Amino acid sequence: SPAFETDTGVTVARYPRDEPLLSGWLLGGERLHGLAALVEVPLGRGRVVLFGFRPQYRAQSHITYAALLNALYLSAAERP
């Protein structure tokens, strides 16, 4: 799913409440309004990072690589 609704965890990035499309085309954009796009959820002694977008995709901006690399780095870190 490109969007998440969660009661636990931390929402890191959220889709805007108005039109999420800035350019190009988008199917089902009305279903994204205000929902989470990037969420960190605790699971046992670790955590799961849920991406609603493809951070490694060739057309994404360079800032999404930082989110992906941080998720990989933090996956090996112990929770406080």
The one-digit pLDDT tens for each residue of the chain (80 residues) are 788 998 889 999 898 888 777 777 777 777 888 889 999 988 887 888 898 887 777 666 677 778 888 888 877 666 66
Model confidence, pTM: 0.71
pLDDT at 58: 62
Phi/psi at 3 (5° precision): -145, 150
Distance CA 72, CA 5 (A): 23
8 Å CB contact between 43 and 6: no
Tell me how far apart the alpha carbons of residues 41 and 11 are, in angstroms, rounded to a whole number: 9
Asked if residues 41 and 79 have their Cβ atoms less than 8 Å apart, the reply is no
